[in-house]
Structure 1
């Protein structure tokens, strides 16, 4: 399939789906068509098309969920809500086989029935999404979990609690929240969530409670998957022995480094590319550094979709590993080493910043 034939996603069957099974079938048909054109499609165009597909499926899932509850006698939603995405969906960087990372922002209207309704709505929506081809999030960052299903005021208190503790897990939760993106429902609630989050992130604090420093401590745990000889580090054992972990070895180190800079400079974009563009506008880091980071990021996106996957019951699920036979291809190995070299450069810069920050606390 030529790139000219891949300018848009066919969303008609997705928008017409009336049940989870039909939605899953429509999604599988369209993502199969997209995947057939992957090799001839620019990675930036590809990333946009995949995002449009997922947004349409997730949005339709919320409509199906509302209809199901109406038919079962629960009535319409007793309060406006926003269905939001986190993780790669929040950054609009999914693969075709991404899992669930989502939540709800609910309007506080004083109706006691709202809490009961959304306690049913959340798990039901998560179930519909699973039926539509989205595996559950291993970390349980899902609308079915009350931790990720709150009113604006409750979100404010939760974010403030995480901000006040700044342990490893609390910082991880804050960074998950930082990737929030509106998917469906009342967009003003998503905007309110983002304003609350911005206020929490920008709150002045003592050096010991500095959010940027805490995020930096979490971020530098990831290292570029290159050894001292500049060789790519692959899996040593198990079913993926000899394969390369694209997600944790390349993609997430880039995402985390750019997200850290976004927090430090108050950048509001939720996607990695938006953050890079805004950092460039602020002249926050050298242009060459940003240019190399963008190139490495595109490489990470492409390799994530080249990673091996499996199909079970009509559902595609990715392994996140680039097969060893791909690494034996000279052009692939060269491109991967170049991207990992950029990650190594990025993290040397971050580690210097961490050492400087630690000296300031002494």
Structure 2
């Protein structure tokens, strides 16, 4: 069924002439979506919000490209794809998500084009990151940004980088591989992103031992629910008494379903789509998949609200939250059992 509201938003974004106009549209449209927060179906709301983000980011990229051309830098020397990682790559951004970005561009046939490409895409990426910062997207604290040369490379350089991470199963390398598993092209030559993804999965198949390290990283964040199903709020500091939905529910579930999907060679990046594909691959039973869908959809909605105080939730929401957290803990237990069985881990 067509989502005419989202289509109208994207048409308004496409007609923007500058960043000021684009910023006004983002503020106005997010306010409308925030008003729907408590009454809307959560996957639909998240889908609409992320279509808005995709439209805003894509337009900012194109405005930066046009601005460089006006300043005499010409058109991009070779094709490129602008990548999103993290919640952007999964199409699960909130109202206030930060930038997690990268860039892959085509390899050059000669040294002159290669040098022009390096210079152009350095300026281009810096312009895009600055534009998105102006539009209200904070910088990634971990510097996963297209303006950082570590995340802006030719396709061959990206392949070599992945090869190095797979060959060195350190904690940082595994973290970078898991970040890359969520990569999605928001605009540009999607074929470049597809080739990067293809190399990732080929190398994963060639390094089966990396899966054990991925499990260790994945289980770092625990679901905040006790043995008897009680909520586990923050105990200290200014957030004492609150439940951190992002790190206590959302991130653990994202991590678990991402790893299950990666193991099965599933290329989807969104968590709900990963759950669907896992059911199709029979890596999850229909009962497990349905429980996971309901739990994750609820967590997505609560994540839009942010840190919550359990006492203020009311009985119905508290029960739903507990059930969702129990489902998250169940999937983590499934992974822990697999870790012990396959890799002799804890």
Q: Distance in 2 between matches of 1:269 and 1:352?
A: 24
Q: Distance in 2 between matches of 1:32 and 1:12?
A: 18
Change (3 A) 1:78 1:8: closer
1:117 aligns with 2:103: no
Q: Distance in 2 between matches of 1:269 and 1:31?
A: 26
SS in 1 for 2:330: helix
Which of 308, 319, 335 is equivalent to 1:334? Answer: 319
Q: Distance in 1 between matches of 2:20 and 2:237?
A: 34
Asked if the contact 2:6/2:51 (under 8 Å) is kept, the reply is no
Q: Which residue of 2 aligns with 1:346?
A: 331
Q: Which residue of 1 aligns with 2:69?
A: 70
1:37 aligns with 2:23: no
CA shift digits 1:24-47 (9 cap, x unpaired):
111111111111122222112112
* RMSD after superposition: 1.9
Change (3 A) 1:150 1:326: farther
Asked if the contact 2:6/2:52 (under 8 Å) is kept, the reply is no
Asked if the contact 2:89/2:182 (under 8 Å) is kept, the reply is yes
In the alignment, structure 1 segments of 5+ residues that lack a partner are: 308-320
After TM superposition, give the deviation of residue 231 of structure 1 in Å.
Answer: 1.7
Which of 204, 210, 214 is equivalent to 1:201? Answer: 204
Q: Distance in 2 between matches of 1:326 and 1:78?
A: 56
SS in 1 for 2:255: helix
Q: Distance in 2 between matches of 1:352 and 1:17?
A: 52
After TM superposition, give the deviation of residue 238 of structure 1 in Å.
Answer: 2.4
In the alignment, structure 2 segments of 5+ residues that lack a partner are: none
Which of 143, 146, 150 is equivalent to 2:153? Answer: 150
Using the size of structure 1 for normalisation, the TM-score is 0.89
Asked if the contact 2:125/2:147 (under 8 Å) is kept, the reply is yes
CA shift digits 1:294-329 (9 cap, x unpaired):
11110110101122xxxxxxxxxxxxx1245534x2
CA shift digits 1:143-172 (9 cap, x unpaired):
111111111101101111111111111111
Q: Distance in 2 between matches of 1:52 and 1:7?
A: 7
Asked if the contact 1:90/1:181 (under 8 Å) is kept, the reply is yes
After TM superposition, give the deviation of residue 7 of structure 1 in Å.
Answer: 6.4
Asked if the contact 1:9/1:30 (under 8 Å) is kept, the reply is no
Asked if the contact 1:6/1:37 (under 8 Å) is kept, the reply is no
Q: Which residue of 2 aligns with 1:300?
A: 299
Asked if the contact 2:166/2:207 (under 8 Å) is kept, the reply is no
Paired residues in the alignment total 340
Q: Which residue of 2 aligns with 1:274?
A: 273
CA shift digits 1:318-350 (9 cap, x unpaired):
xxx1245534x2122111111111112112211
Change (3 A) 1:40 1:8: farther
The worse-fitting range, judged by mean Cα deviation, of 120-129 and 231-240 is: 231-240
CA shift digits 1:237-287 (9 cap, x unpaired):
222221111111000111111111112111111111111111111111322
Q: Distance in 1 between matches of 2:235 and 2:207?
A: 45
After TM superposition, give the deviation of residue 5 of structure 1 in Å.
Answer: 8.6
Give runs of ≥4 in structure 1 deviating > 6 Å. Answer: none
